[in-house]
Structure 1
Amino acid sequence: MSVGHHLTEFADLPVFDFDTETDTESLPDAAAVAWRVRSHYVDPSWEDVFEDFLDCVDTERVTALILGFWSGTCPAGLLVEAADRFPALRAVFAGDITGEEFEISWINQGDLTPLVAAFPRLEVLEARGGSGLEFEPVAGSVLRRLRFETGGLPGEVVRAVAASDLPNLEHLDLWLGDEDYGCTTELADFAPFLAGDRFPALRHLGLENSEFQDEIATAVAGAPVVARLESLSLAMGVLSDRGAEALLSGQPLTHLRRLDLHHHFLTDTMAERLRAALPATEVDLSDPQYGGEERGFYVMVTE
C-alpha cells in the first residue's frame, strides 16, 4: 500500500495548487495559503512551473511551500538556490505525491539538509519517499517538526537525526518501512533520543510502519523520553500482542493524551486490555489486521 491522498492543509494553512492549469490572474494572498508547486508527467518541468511561480507570486510573503509531483530527482536544490526570495518561509514538505502519481518507493528524494541551512527560520520539514533520501546532522536549527514518510527509511538518516542538535524539536515522525524497499534502520539507531539525551522539547514521537514494531514497543516501554511525551505513535507496523504486552508491563503511559496503534495485529483481548489500562488516553486501535502466522505480517506503507 502507498499514500493515497494529497495534503489539504499544511502548517495550519489550506493548500493551494500552483501548476500548469493555475489561473494566475486570481491568486490568493501569498501568506494565506500553503502553496503546492507541482508539474505533470509531460512538459513543462517542475523547474518551469517554479519559475512561473516566482514570477507570479509575492514569494517574500510565502510561509509554507509544498513540493508536489516532479519527474526525476527532488527539486529541493532549486528552492535552496532561490532562498533569498523566501525570507518568511517557515514550513516545507518535499514530496506531496500520491500512489496514483508515483508509488512512494519511486519518489526520488535527495539531500534535504541544505534546506535547513538555507532557511534558518524553518520550523517544519517533512518529506515523502525514501529512495535517495539523505540527511546530515544539523545544529542550531529552530526546527519544531520533522517528519519522514517512507516505505524504506535509510538508517543513515535516522542516525543523522539522532546526532542533530535540535533544542526546539517538538514533533518527530519516522516511517521505517520494509527492508525490501530500502529500510536499513536498526533498533540501536533510536537509542540517543529514546534515552532522553536529545531533543528536550520533544512532545510527540512516532516510530511507525515498521517490520520490528514489537521490538520498538519493548524499547519504548522503558525509554526515559516517554515520560515527557504527550503523544506516541507505534502505528502502521506489525505490532502484535508481544509488543503490546511490553507496553503494558513497562513504565506508566497514563500521562499520554494519545497513543496511536492503528494498523496492528493485536487480538481483541489485548486491544481491550490496552483500552482498560488507559481510560483517559485516546487510544487508536483502528484498522486491525488479521493476517498473523497464516497470512503473514505486513507494514501499512511499502511500495
Structure 2
Amino acid sequence: MTVSNNMQELDGLPAFDFPDAEAEPEATLPAAGSVAWRVAVDAYDSEEEWESAFARFLKAVDTTEVRALIVGAWSEAYDTAPDEVITAIVAASDRLPSLRALFVGDITYEECEISWINQTAMAPLINALPQLRSFGVRGGQSLDMTGIKHEGLRSLTVETGGLDADVVRNIGAAELPALEHLDIWLGTSWYGANTIVADLDAFLTGARLPALKSLALRNSEIQDDIAAALAGAPVVARLETLDLSMGTLGDEGAEALLGGQPLTHLKKLDLHHHYLSEPMRERIRATLEPAGVVVDLSECESARNDESRFTAVAE
C-alpha cells in the first residue's frame, strides 16, 4: 500500500488547498480559522517555490486566526529537503499566534513515494512554535528529530516507510512533558528501518512521557517483537489506546501480548493489517471485548511464511 490521498483534515478541521498562483485573484477564501490550510506546489518542475506560495498565503489570509497548517509538496521533494520551507515558517512564527496543528510532508505517492521524501531537522520548527499542540511529519529520508523540547505539544506523528534507529532514539530523548499521543511508523529494512526493541525503551517505560495516553508503534516488520516487549512494559498500564497496526503482527506476538499484563483497561486496541489466525482473532475478541475494549482486527493478511509478510506502507 502507498499513501494515495492527501489529508482530509487536521486537528478536526477540514483541509483546504490554498489556491495556486494561477487562480482567480478574487477567489473566495474560507474564514482563516475554519479550515486546515494546505500550502503546496507542483512536485515536478514547479513554476513556483513553496516559500513563494507561502508568502502569498501570508498576504491573503488573516494569519492571526490560522489554527492548522499542512505543508504539502515542495518542488523536487524526492531530491530536496524542506529547509527553506521550515525557514519560511519559522520566520513567520510571530504572525501565527493561533497555530495549534502543523503537518510537514502531506505528499502522495504520485508526487513522491514516502520513502523517497527528503526531510531535515525538525527541532528548529517545533521549538519555534510554543503554542503548537499537534505536529506530524511524513518521510524518513534524512529526518532529524534531535533536540526537541516543547512544554505544550500533545500529539506527535512520524510517518515513514523506514525509520533509522537514531531518529527513534532522538524522539525518545525529546522533552515532551505534555505529550498524550505518540504515533511512529517504523517501516521496513528495505527502506532504512533498523530499530530493535532496545531502541524503544523510552516509550516502553514511559518515564519521559508522563502524560502519554495513546501509543502507536506500527507499520513495522518487527511487530511481533514489539508486542512481546509491550507485554511487560510499564507504560501500558496507563494507556487508553494501544496501536500495533499496519505491520507484520502474527500469532507469536499476539500470544505474548495476551500472556502479559492485562489489557482490559484499554479503550481501544488497534491491530488492523495483521497476520493473525482465526483462532487467535477469536481469542483476542473473547478476552477484551467483554471488558469494553474496542478491537480493530480488520485487514487480515495472508503469507506463506514469516519472511513473506509485509508492512502496510513501505516504499
Q: Same fold (TM over 0.5)?
A: yes
Moved more, 261-270 or 288-297: 288-297
2:48 aligned residue (22, 44, 51): 44
Percent of aligned pairs with the same residue? 52
Output one character per residue of 1:40-59: Cα deviation in whole Å (capped at 9) or x when no partner. Answer: 13211212211111111111
Query: 8 Å contact 2:133–2:154 — kept in the other structure?
Result: yes
Amino acid at match of 2:296: D
Residues 1:117 and 2:123 aligned together? no
SS in 2 for 1:208: strand
Q: Displacement of 1:138 after TM fit?
A: 2.6
Counterpart Cα distance in 2 of 1:234 and 1:22: 43
Of 278, 300, 304 in structure 2, the residue corresponding to residue 292 of structure 1 is: 304
* Paired position in structure 1 for 2:18: 18
User: What residue in structure 1 maps to residue 137 of structure 2?
Assistant: 127
**Which structure 1 residue ranges, 5 or more long, are not aligned?**
none
Confirm whether residue 73 of structure 1 aligns to residue 81 of structure 2: yes
- Aligned partner of residue 203 in structure 2, secondary structure: helix
The residue type equivalent to 1:105 in the other structure is S
> What SS class does the counterpart of residue 292 from structure 1 fall into?
coil
- 8 A Cα contact 1:116 1:141, kept in partner: no
- Asked if 2 retains the 8 angstrom alpha-carbon contact of 1:76 and 1:94, the reply is no
Q: Does 1:244 align with 2:254?
A: yes
Equivalent-residue separation in structure 1 for 2:175 and 2:143 (angstroms): 20
Compared with structure 1, are the counterparts of its residues 292 and 283 closer, same or farther at alpha carbon in structure 2 (3 Å cutoff)? farther
C-alpha deviations, 1:124-144, integer Å up to 9, x for none? 110111111111133342100
Q: Deviations over 1:166-190 (max 9, x none)?
A: 1110000000001121113221111
**Number of residue-to-residue matches in the alignment:** 303
RMSD between superposed Cα atoms in Å: 1.4
In 1, Cα distance between equivalents of 2:164 and 2:280: 32
Deviations 1:203-224 (A, max 9, x none): 0000001111000000001101
Which stretches of structure 1, 4 residues or more, deviate above 6 A after TM superposition?
none
TM (norm. structure 1) is 0.96
What is the TM-score of this pair, normalised by structure 2? 0.93
Q: Kindly tell me: are residues 46 and 150 of structure 1, through their superposed partners in 2, closer, same or farther at Cα, counting changes over 3 Å?
A: same
Contact kept, 8 Å, 2:136 with 2:156, in 1: the verdict is yes
Q: Secondary structure at the match of 1:278?
A: helix
Partner of 2:180: 170
Of 219, 223, 229 in structure 1, the residue corresponding to residue 229 of structure 2 is: 219
With over 3 angstroms needed to count, the CA separation of the structure-2 counterparts of 1:294 and 1:201, relative to structure 1, is: closer
Match of 2:2 in 1: 2
In the alignment, is the contact (CA less than 8 A) between 1:265 and 1:292 conserved in 2?
no
State the match for 1:84 in structure 2: 94
User: Match for 1:96 among 92, 100, 106?
Assistant: 106
Superimposed CA distance per residue, residues 102-122 of structure 1 (whole angstroms, 9 cap, x where no aligned partner): 110121111111112211111
Give distance in 2, aligned partners of 1:113 and 1:187.
25
| More moved, 76-85 vs 167-176 | 76-85
Q: Distance in 1 between matches of 2:197 and 2:314?
A: 19
2:294 to 272, 276, 282: 282
